[in-house]
Amino acid sequence: MSKHIRIFDTTLRDGEQSPGATLDAGAKLEIAEQLARLGVDIIEAGFPAASPGDLESVSRIAAEVGTANGPIIAGLSRAVTRDIDACWQAVRHASKPRIHTFIATSKIHLQYKLKMTEGDVLRNVKEAVGYARSLCDDVEFSAEDASRTDVAFLAEVFSTAIQAGATTLNIPDTVGYAQPVEFAELVRGVMDRVEGIEACYVSVHCHDDLGLAVANSLAGMQAGARQIECTINGIGERAGNASLEELVMALHTRKEFYGCSTHIETTHLTRTSHLVSARTGILVPANKAIVGGNAFSHEAGIHQDGVIKHAETYEIMKPETVGLTQSKLVLGKHSGRHALRLHLTEMGFEPFDDDELDRIFKRFKRLADKKKDVTEAELEALVADVHYQPLDLYILQGVHVSCGAPSIPTASVSMALPEGDTQTRAATGTGPVDAIFTAINRLLPFEVKLLEYAVHAVSGGIDTLGEVTVRIRCGTGDAERTFRGHGADTDILVASAKAYVAAINKQARYECGDVDQQVAESAGA
Ligand code: KIV
Ligand code: ZN
């Protein structure tokens, strides 16, 4: 019998702490719905005390995704009454709510950040966990910076948490400092020292500063942890968190070795990765394990020859197992609405209502007219673009570009503005993208600086959709914020304009209080 490992996904909390990865409430709900389809056991939906917007979006996820058959919905809170109250207010709408509360335990955090003694921390844990448990039957307690905490004190902290009612105890490697053997020893050390721990779930939460988050999580699990905290694409604070898809596929591919299993539907991994990348604007590197563009492609002749003769010569996993069907041509310009609906259902999308299907169909027809055959990856990108309609304050109406050599790249952009009127501006630039972005900047009442720009093709072929992601900076000093935007189009200059305007809309919505920014700063998590 294989041991079940709980997958605790924190894409919407720790993942959202990635620079510029701000998500609005609609995108968070969409990702939560996909995480539920993926089969995660717990969704950490956010940090309700960070802002009214975060509280609102955790409440919505709790009510709409945390159904009786759905996952546990957790919210994070510092070990203080105000945070715990806000957290409970949000997660109580779920069938299976969880309060996740934390306090730092390492000497360096106690001395410089919290300015508390070990005695103060123990009292705080007793009160906070006890209070959380008076509200909710499922309470997780995390000892922040556990991997740099003296194991004897850590054990005392966890014993206090258990006595106060904690049901899951989390051991984070907050700064990604631990080494696998050492981290396993820490987990074992805690399990040996803490009375009553066998009745609780022991969890691990590892960051990737030394590239060891997945290895440390697996080592912690082998030492006895039964819950792993992770994020889609490994996004998160600084270098990120342990990557869900890597952990899950390690357990799946090497099940005899680990003797453990998860409830994850692995065929949903690729789609979930695409969705998170599109919504956060954080591109997945081509060489990223499991979900990177090159993860299943064989370049060297010897490898290609081997794979043709017998796939397992160089393939330890089948691409279909992770839901990779990128190159499959599925529909063409003669396909009708019915075929499209059928195919989307086969791909695992929820049935769309007639209006939504109409919008997807129109976009599909435009694409099919341009390139004849449409692949599943392209359909997925279209659905992601159409299905998700955030409230845009700036709406791109038109882009015209003139470039080439020898000439000065020139762009004119028309955009509907929040005041309701549509205006047009023109600009020249070092290249066509620079000219477009400068023209857009001329339509804005605030300054925008471009920090990152990336373009990639959705699937092979020169006629495919181009996807562009940008990261921008707005404001200065304390008011400085970064936002990411994403756009897809067969014309990469139009995709560039869409991505830039998407990021600008996040800034505009942030100004209106609809988007929360970097809860990490207020939490110190
Ligand atoms: O990295 C960390 O320590 C955390 C905790 C709040 C669990 O994110
Ligand atoms: Zn973390």
Mean pLDDT of 109-131: 98
Q: Which ligand is nearest to the CA of 146?
A: 1
Looking at ligand 1, which residue's alpha carbon is closest to its atom 1?
Answer: 174
- State both tokens at 364: 């599909």
How far does residue 174's CA lie from ligand 1's centre (Å)?
A: 6
Enter the pTM of the model.
Answer: 0.82
CA-to-CA distance for 105 and 5, rounded, in angstroms?
Answer: 26
Confidence band, pLDDT 50/70/90 cuts, at residue 513: low
Ligand number, closest to the Cα atom of 227: 1
Q: Which two tokens stand for residue 35?
A: 């995480």
The rounded distance, in Å, linking the Cα atoms of 214 and 223 is: 14
E-assigned strand segments in 95-239? 97-104, 139-144, 168-173, 201-206, 227-230
pLDDT over threshold 70, residue 524: no
Residue 430: count of CB within 10 angstroms of its CB? 10
Distance 206 CA to ligand 1 centre (A): 8
Highest-confidence segment of 11-20, 95-104, 463-472, 502-511: 95-104
Percent of the chain with pLDDT over 70: 94
Q: How confident is the model at residue 460 (pLDDT cuts 50, 70, 90)?
A: low
DSSP-assigned beta bridge partners for residue 487? 468
Nearest atom of ligand 1 to the alpha carbon of 146: 3
Q: What pLDDT sits at residue 224? A: 98
Query: Using an 8 Å Cβ cutoff, are 469 and 452 in contact?
Result: yes
* Least-confidence region, from 20-29, 210-219, 420-429, 453-462: 453-462
Which residue, by CA, sits nearest to atom 4 of ligand 1? 525
Ligand closest to CA 174? 1
Mean pLDDT throughout 490-510? 92
Tokens of 13: 């909390």
The answer to which of 146-160, 210-224, 285-299, 418-432 has the lowest mean pLDDT is 285-299
Is residue 515 over pLDDT 60? no
Predicted local confidence at residue 519, as pLDDT = 31
How confident is the model over 12-45, as pLDDT tens digits? 999 998 877 878 898 999 999 999 999 999 999 9
- How far, CA to CA in Å, does 219 sit from each of 155, 173, 212, 235, 302? 19, 12, 10, 20, 34
**CA 174–ligand 2 middle distance (angstroms):** 5
pLDDT at 348 over 80: no
Distance 488 CA to ligand 2 centre (A): 31
pLDDT grade, residue 375 (50/70/90)?
confident
Question: How close is the Cα of 35 to the center of ligand 2, in Å?
Answer: 19
Protein residue with least CA distance to atom 2, ligand 1: 174
Whether 103 has a pLDDT exceeding 50, the answer reads yes
**Distance (Å) from CA 139 to ligand 2 centroid:** 17
**Ligand 1 centroid distance, CA of 102 (Å):** 8
User: Cis ω on the peptide bond leading into residue 406 (within 30° of 0)?
Assistant: yes
Nearest residue (CA) to ligand 1, atom 6 = 525
Q: What is the mean pLDDT of residues 178-193?
A: 98
- Over 60: is that where the pLDDT of 408 sits? yes
With the most atoms of ligand 1 within 8 angstroms of its CB, the residue from 174, 177, 208 to mutate is 174
Among 88, 4, 78, 96, residue whose Cα is nearest residue 42: 96
8 Å CB contact between 480 and 446: no
How far apart are the C-alpha atoms of 274 and 190, rounded to whole Å? Answer: 38
Q: How confident is the model at residue 338 (pLDDT cuts 50, 70, 90)?
A: confident
Closest of 145, 54, 162, 59 to residue 102, by C-alpha? 145
Tell me what pLDDT residue 166 has: 98
Which range, 161-170, 459-468, 472-481, is most confident?
A: 161-170
Query: What average pLDDT does the chain have?
Result: 90
How many whole angstroms from 502 Cα to the centroid of ligand 1? Answer: 30
CB-proximal residues (5 Å) to ion ligand 2: 14
Average pLDDT over residues 267-278: 93
The ligand with the least distance to the CA atom of 242 is 2
Selection from 258-272, 308-322, 457-471, 507-521 with the highest mean pLDDT: 258-272
Which of 123, 73, 63, 126 is CA-nearest to residue 100?
Answer: 73
Dihedral of CA atoms 33, 38, 39, 40 in degrees, nearest 10, equals: -80
What would the mean pLDDT of 202-216 be, rounded to a whole number?
A: 98
Least confident range of 13-27, 68-82, 145-159: 13-27
DSSP one-letter string for 135-160: H-S-EEEEEETGGGS-HHHHHHHHHH
- Identify the band that residue 376 occupies on the pLDDT scale cut at 50, 70 and 90: confident
Identify whether the C-beta of residue 242 lies closer than 8 Å to the C-beta of residue 217.
Answer: yes
Q: What atom of ligand 1 comes closest to residue 102's alpha carbon?
A: 6
pLDDT band at 511 (very low <50, low <70, confident <90, very high): confident
Q: Is there a contact between 169 and 161 (Cβ–Cβ < 8 Å)?
A: yes
Q: Looking at per-residue confidence, does 424 or 297 come out higher?
A: 424
Res. 389 pLDDT band, cuts 50 70 90: low
Q: Give ligand 1 pocket residues (Cβ under 6 A).
A: 14, 102, 142, 144, 170, 172, 174, 205, 207, 525
